[in-house]
């Protein structure tokens, strides 16, 4: 074996190796037994479960592997759990959707697994190159997934838009990374932090911060880099939209935290100010634009932009408490956002597209169960107690106040109040509006029931008993390096 590598390195990437192997099996099965959807779903879910189990093998570890390219720590593990869980829920809710749309299941699950693989490397990479390759793996899979409804022009538009803008933003990101490499001579996050410590930051590094911030801002759909999000979210197949708004966002936040907190604590004052502006713009514009949407997927897209704004508060605060509460919020957001999308997926039947707000008209009378579940997710997204969304917001805004960002917290709370209008509008449609075209009745198959069950469980349990999630987030944030330097600068 070449110097610096050992058998242990392969042990440490076991979750990723399992995922790669599973994806290859799924691709082979896709051509051998293309019509056996249940088998394909089973193998894909089995792969995810095996990966989850192998991630938990490393709990409590805090080491780097593969010549310092990857970190195996609680931070990576936390994000891997989030990513794998959101991939699993996405697959479960995809099963009925693929049948209705007549899509090929094999390639679909294969691409979801590939995207998940990329996200896992984004969570554990501690080198600019590893992070970039992870991001690229994820992005390329999503470009194809966004256009998976081949005969649908809107889906094609989504794929082309996402591809062109995504490629451009990756270029901007890479430019920023190359400037960092030029200034420090290393791509290792630890090495960059060491090279930058103890000297006044040069213009090059500040420019790099702006470029990397813009590139990552695109991935998390932060204003003013959010233009692609509504169109792509609306055009892409609904489960893909769900995965895009949760998995992709979580992994991008992991990468953003790694780069800025671990590698660039020397310019923390600069990027903290940058993200302050981005956070305020993102939550305000996202919420205001969501007010007038008549398409459910588009509304959820703007709402997810607004949530990215809330999440950015954690980055602005930049302390261990800030990051921990951000992780809590991501964990909570996973359940409520995927739950809301699962209902939209269930609304898609052979004779109804069902992603317009008016399609929800009188849903309470036709399918009370679906209406009550949607009510729960909407309340949670709006941040009403005793749902998990409330707990997430309390921790996040509390962290901002704690660190002295009172105005940021005030703006965020005002924004949450605004957001209640459009979340409750959905409820008004379901209960008070006249019936929409009935179409065939809503059916919840076994896979969909499991997905919704997990989403509800998460939304309710973490609303009443957030302790479990909070402890995990605290431990995860603790393993992120670079906080001491951040605090010392202030």
Partner 1 sequence: MLDAYIPVLLFVLVAIGFAIFTLMVSSLVQSSRYNRVKLEPYECGIEPVTDARDRYSVRYYLIAMLFVIFDVETVFMFPWAVIMDELALFGLIEMLVFLFILVLGYVYAWRKGALEWA
CB of 113 to partner 1, least distance (A): 14
Minimum distance between the CB of residue 66 and partner 1, rounded to whole angstroms? 13
For the CB of residue 164, give the shortest distance to partner 1 in the complex, in Å.
18
User: Of 354, 327, 281, nearest to 472 (Cα)?
Assistant: 327
In the complex, minimum distance from the CB of residue 31 to partner 1, in angstroms, rounded to a whole number = 4
**Closest CB to partner 1 among residues 5, 168:** 5
Residue 1 Cβ vs partner 1, minimum distance, rounded to whole Å: 5
Q: How far is the CB of 4 from partner 1 (least distance, A)?
A: 12
Smaller CB distance to partner 1: residue 203 or 488? 203
Residue number with CB closer to partner 1 (132 or 302): 132
**Of residues 30 and 346, the one with the C-beta less far from partner 1:** 30
Q: Which residues are near partner 1 by CB under 8 A?
A: 1-2, 5, 24, 27-28, 30-32, 202-203
Spatial contact of 99 and 221, defined as CB atoms under 8 Å apart: no
In terms of CB distance, is 31 or 488 closer to partner 1? 31
To the nearest whole angstrom, how small is the minimum distance from the Cβ of residue 157 to partner 1?
A: 19
Which of 24/432 has CB closer to partner 1? 24
Q: Which is nearer to partner 1, 6 or 38 (CB)?
A: 6
Question: Rounded to the nearest whole angstrom, what is the least distance from the CB of residue 9 to partner 1 in the complex?
Answer: 12
| Alpha-carbon distances, residue 471 vs 207, 327, 480 (angstroms) | 36, 11, 15
CB 326 within 8 A of CB 238: no
Minimum Å gap between C-beta 30 and partner 1 is 7
């Amino acid at each position: 074996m070449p110097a610096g590598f050992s058998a242990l390195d392969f042990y440490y990437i076991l979750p990723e190796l399992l995922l790669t192997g599973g994806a290859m099996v799924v691709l082979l099965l896709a051509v051998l037994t293309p019509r056996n959807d249940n088998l394909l779903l089973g193998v894909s879910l089995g792969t995810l479960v095996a990966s989850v189990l192998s991630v938990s093998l490393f709990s409590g570890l805090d080491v780097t592997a593969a010549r310092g390219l990857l970190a195996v720590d609680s931070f990576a593990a936390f994000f891997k759990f989030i990513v794998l869980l959101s991939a699993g829920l996405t697959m479960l809710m995809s099963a009925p959707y693929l049948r209705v749309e007549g899509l090929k299941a094999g390639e679909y699950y294969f691409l979801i697994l590939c995207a998940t693989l990329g996200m896992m490397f984004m969570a554990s990479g501690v080198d600019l190159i590893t992070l970039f390759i992870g991001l690229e793996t994820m992005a390329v899979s999503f470009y194809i997934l966004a256009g998976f409804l081949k005969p649908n022009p809107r889906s094609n538009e989504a794929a082309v838009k996402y591809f062109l803008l995504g490629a451009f933003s990756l270029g901007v990101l890479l430019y920023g990374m190359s400037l960092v490499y030029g200034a420090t001579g290393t791509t290792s996050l630890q090495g960059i932090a060491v090279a930058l410590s103890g000297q006044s930051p040069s213009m090059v590094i500040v420019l790099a911060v702006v470029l990397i911030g813009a590139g990552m801002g695109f991935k998390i759909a932060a204003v003013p880099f959010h233009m692609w999000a509504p169109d792509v979210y609306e055009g892409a197949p609904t489960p893909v939209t769900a995965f895009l708004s949760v998995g992709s966002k979580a992994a991008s936040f992991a990468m953003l935290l790694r780069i800025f907190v671990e590698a660039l604590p020397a310019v923390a004052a600069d990027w903290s100010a940058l993200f302050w502006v981005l956070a305020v713009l993102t939550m305000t514009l996202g919420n205001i634009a969501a007010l007038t949407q008549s398409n459910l997927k588009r509304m959820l897209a703007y709402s997810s932009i607004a949530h990215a704004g809330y999440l950015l508060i954690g980055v602005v605060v930049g302390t261990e408490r800030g990051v921990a509460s951000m992780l809590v919020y991501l964990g909570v957001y996973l359940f409520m956002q995927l739950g809301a999308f699962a209902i939209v997926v269930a609304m898609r039947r052979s004779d109804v597209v069902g992603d317009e707000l008016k399609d929800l008209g009188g849903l309470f009378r036709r399918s009370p169960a679906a209406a009550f579940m949607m009510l729960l997710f909407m309340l949670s997204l709006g941040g009403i107690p005793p749902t998990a969304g409330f707990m997430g917001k309390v921790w996040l805004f509390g962290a901002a106040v704690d660190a002295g960002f009172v105005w940021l917290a005030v703006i965020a709370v005002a924004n949450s109040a605004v957001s209640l209008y459009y979340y409750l509008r959905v409820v008004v449609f379901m209960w008070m509006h006249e019936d929409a075209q009935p179409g065939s009745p809503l059916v919840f198959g076994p896979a969909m029931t499991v997905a919704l069950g997990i989403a509800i469980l998460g939304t309710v349990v973490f609303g009443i008993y957030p302790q479990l999630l909070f402890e995990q987030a605290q431990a995860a944030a603790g393993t992120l390096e670079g906080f001491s330097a951040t605090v010392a600068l202030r």
